[in-house]
A = this chain, B = another copy of it.
Amino acid sequence: MTTFTDHTLTEIRRDLHRHPEEGWKEFRTTALVAEELDERGFELWLGAEAVNVEERLGVPSDDEIAAARERARREGAPEEYLDWMGDVTGLVAKKRYGDGPTVGVRVDVDALARPEASDDDHRPAREGFASTHPSEMHACGHDGHTAIGIGVARAFDEEGFDGTLKLFFQPAEEGGRGGKPMSETEHLDDVDALVALHLGLGEETGTVVGGYDRPLSNAKVDVTFEGEPAHAGGAPNEGRNALQALGTALQNLYAIPRHSEGKTRINVGQVHADNAQNVICEEARMRVEVRGEDADLNDYMMDRAERVVESAAEMHDVGYETSLYGMTTTFENDESVVQTVMRAAETVDGVDHVCGRSPFGGSEDASFLVRRVQENGGVASYVGIGASNPAGHHTAYFDIDEDALDIGVGVVTETVRRLAAGT
């Protein structure tokens, strides 16, 4: 497929599923979406126009980005929009239908860095739309989110509504890398109400959750310890051992004291040191994630973690660098929007169960967009669209029930209409 027009949302979702693109590599996805919205008369902002380039987090190397862009071209991304984007993904689109308020809809478009199951137990494999990219997979439903975003744009074609629609196709949600840079633009300043959404999350098709509240704040930090090599047999005392620093940090990060005021978490993910076994380690890297039940608790963990890393480096006389890989914050939905979503959902075909607010156990960088809108005096909610899944999010057998796509479009469309109308 090299253009979305004339294709159904299910076809589009399956095409995206076959061509998953990790964060900051969503060139094909973004270009095809841009093409369709351009045809439908939306005003577009692409790439560096859509996100604050300086604020991007966890950006891949130039080589990786160039390769992803080249792959997108090979796989049919329209040249015009690739050129427009340059090296940066991200899309904001706006269309005025009437004089009423501006309502924003945010969907995330990136895939995960993990292989997909390829056996016949897995419907995408059985039916021929499993990922064709070896280590990327839409295992969190963002292919469906993107399709719903297009569905919402299409839905107002005929009837419109009394207001302006603003669509945010956010890159790099996984790892919390794209929300912050998209929020630090002026695109949200005229948004009166914002709806973000997620498919699945443990709810069956037909269920709608008016608003997921209070995601955990988190921060992901890449740490590199930089020592001095030396021959481990001949002159161990002459080295400055980056790996001993990392080992000391590891032990002490997990031992950061529990906090009396709420949940805190810490974890170390990737760890790498590539040096030969007979060389005192010159460079060792790790990726750390902290969380807190609120921003203060997250800061507590972050401060303690930084202290541990700094002192571990000092202890072994090595240097270190940290860079923020990703970040999310927390928020509370506006009750008025939650109520609007619930009323809207009641009217949508296929919806059989409507819930109110629910705490969100995980983290989400839509949080930055929600807060930006709220800080400007707007209102927002992060809506759940039930979608039956055969296997858990982020696993190799994840899939979504495609019936949820139309439900998603219906709930969002009707919510937008009511938010604009104030009903």
Chain A interface residues (CB < 8 Å from chain B): 113, 175, 216, 218, 220, 232-239, 241, 243-244, 246-248, 250-252, 254-255, 257-261, 263-281, 284, 287-289, 291, 300, 307-308, 310-312, 314-317, 325, 361-363, 394
Q: How many chain copies does the complex carry?
A: 4
A316 to B251 alpha-carbon distance, docked (Å): 12
| Chain B residue with the shortest CB-CB distance to A275 | B269
Which B residues are CB-close (under 8 A) to A113? 276
Q: Is the CB of B277 within 8 A of A260?
A: no
A168 to B26 alpha-carbon distance, docked (Å): 55
A317 to B306 alpha-carbon distance, docked (Å): 12
Chain A binding surface SS class: mixed
Minimum C-beta distance from A361 to chain B (A):
5
Q: Give me 17 other A-B pairs in contact (C-beta within 8 A), A252-B316, A269-B277 excluded.
A: A175-B277, A233-B267, A233-B291, A236-B257, A237-B257, A237-B300, A243-B268, A246-B271, A254-B255, A258-B263, A258-B264, A268-B281, A272-B272, A277-B287, A307-B317, A310-B314, A311-B315
A294 to B94 alpha-carbon distance, docked (Å): 53
Ordered by A's residue number, 7 sampled pairs between the chains whose C-beta atoms are within 8 Å are A232-B289, A236-B259, A236-B265, A237-B258, A247-B251, A271-B284, A307-B317
Q: Is the CB of A260 within 8 A of B234?
A: yes
Q: Is the CB of A251 within 8 A of B255?
A: yes
A233 to B362 alpha-carbon distance, docked (Å): 7
A265's contact among B220, B232, B255, B265, by CB below 8 Å, is which? B232
Which B residues are CB-close (under 8 A) to A220? 277
Interface centre among A113, A237, A278 (most CB of B within 10 A): A278
Minimum C-beta distance from A250 to chain B (A):
3
Q: Is the CB of A274 within 8 A of B270?
A: yes
A174 to B122 alpha-carbon distance, docked (Å): 44
Minimum C-beta distance from A399 to chain B (A):
20
A243 to B235 alpha-carbon distance, docked (Å): 28
A296 to B247 alpha-carbon distance, docked (Å): 28
A327 to B310 alpha-carbon distance, docked (Å): 32
Minimum C-beta distance from A266 to chain B (A):
8
Q: Is the CB of A271 within 8 A of B289?
A: no
A264 to B276 alpha-carbon distance, docked (Å): 18
Which B residues are CB-close (under 8 A) to A310? 314
Interface centre among A234, A252, A317 (most CB of B within 10 A): A252
A260's contact among B235, B241, B312, by CB below 8 Å, is which? B235
Q: Is the CB of B254 within 8 A of A238?
A: no
Minimum C-beta distance from A307 to chain B (A):
6
| Chain B residue with the shortest CB-CB distance to A222 | B277
A274 to B250 alpha-carbon distance, docked (Å): 15
Q: Is the CB of A273 within 8 A of B269?
A: yes
| Chain B residue with the shortest CB-CB distance to A114 | B276
Which B residues are CB-close (under 8 A) to A239? 257
Minimum C-beta distance from A310 to chain B (A):
8
| Chain B residue with the shortest CB-CB distance to A297 | B237
Q: Is the CB of B264 within 8 A of A268?
A: no
A9 to B391 alpha-carbon distance, docked (Å): 63
A244 to B304 alpha-carbon distance, docked (Å): 13
| Chain B residue with the shortest CB-CB distance to A363 | B233
Q: Is the CB of A255 within 8 A of B255?
A: yes
Minimum C-beta distance from A327 to chain B (A):
12
A266 to B281 alpha-carbon distance, docked (Å): 12
Check A269/B281 contact, CB under 8 A, given A233-B291, A247-B250, A250-B250. Answer: yes
